[in-house]
Structure 1
Amino acid sequence: MANGVSESESTTQHNEGLQAQLRLFCHLMLGSADAADRVMRQIYHRALDHQDDQQHRQSERDRLFRIAIDLCDAHCRSSHE
């Protein structure tokens, strides 16, 4: 705790920063804050469902962004059909 920030505070800040990055990415990909919020819920649901499969192969950030890309792509394809 050399910089005055506890480990749990640091983890919380990291998680909040990652969530903000994911939400912004989804918003830019989908063009809608509402659609981004729906996809955000799906991202974390899918991440929990596949946690054991991917846990050791990718970092959390990489894994969540890969899920976000897949979901946003699927959402875009289905809205253009």
Structure 2
Amino acid sequence: MSEKSVIKQIIGKTVKAIRIKKGLSQEDLAHECNVDRSYISMIEVGRNEPSVTKIFDLCTGLRVKPSDFFKLVEGEFEKLREQG
């Protein structure tokens, strides 16, 4: 798996984990970000890669700072690199 697709997967898993932790449905998050629920689903399964602007929108909807979001993504990426 390429690094790019690994990062897409990590972003998706991170969005999903935060969303669940905050008690939001995909529908709730989609509403907060002015996107369709299917777009959130595609991100969460790693089929869609959100732009940086969209990540900021997602972070607003998830009520997390973008810097904290990227720290989580970076941490997961580093874990995978150490294992690989």
TM-score by length of 2: 0.38
Q: Which has the higher helix share?
A: 1
TM-score by length of 1: 0.39
State the structure with more CA Rg. 1
Higher relative contact order (CA 8 A, sep 6+): 2
